[in-house]
Amino acid sequence: MGYLSVFLVLAALLVSELMLAATPAVVSAQTGAQEKAASLRAQLGEVEAKQAELQTRLQNLEEKLKPENIESALAGVGSTRPEDLREQRRRQLEIERNGVRAQLDLLATSHSRLETAIATADADAYRQSAAPAKGPSVDASSTTEASAQVATPQRRPRRARKKRVKRSVHHSQPY
């Protein structure tokens, strides 16, 4: 009976040591996912700041494109063809406006991708925090069985269909 109690105490200590050794790996994986989400949130903040800046710039360009503002901007410039100068200024402003719009479109795409990535990183962090702690006590056979169940089955390549050959029917006709 004495050996049995000593064995149980040693087994309990061994199991507790294994669990403590596994805990930092789980915590580091969890903090890694949380750090990734935080990094993505920082990037999202930068994208939103850039979007706000470009929106302001676009509003300024829209204001400058008004005919009366183009005319007043060129009021001090003397020319024999002021209409050509106004047209040239309008084209420059339109080109700049189109560039700003293109940048805003790219930032909108980036914004949506970052939001999706943040949601994924948050979900990963949640899954890691909710998952039971895995220690080194898990044997290799149970790991391979679990991965075999999760793995998607491979598809077989499709067979090529044989083409049907129409055979002509020869009827013997009397002469």
Question: Which tens digits make up the pLDDT trace of 116-153?
Answer: 999 999 999 888 888 776 655 544 444 445 444 555 55
Tell me how far the alpha carbon of residue 40 is from its chain's centroid: 10
Look at 100 and 161; give whichever has higher pLDDT.
100
> What percent of the chain has a predicted confidence (pLDDT) above 90?
39
C-alpha distance from residue 87 to each of 95, 119, 152 (Å): 12, 48, 62
Question: Which tens digits make up the pLDDT trace of 40-92?
Answer: 999 999 999 999 999 999 999 999 999 999 888 887 777 778 888 899 999 99
What does the alpha-carbon distance between residue 27 and residue 84 come to, in Å, rounded to a whole number? Answer: 68
| HSE-up of residue 16 (Cα within 13 Å, Cβ side) | 6
The pTM for the full model equals 0.55
Tell the residue number behind the tokens 């990734």, with chain if given: 36
- CA nearest to 116, candidates 57, 62, 54, 43: 43
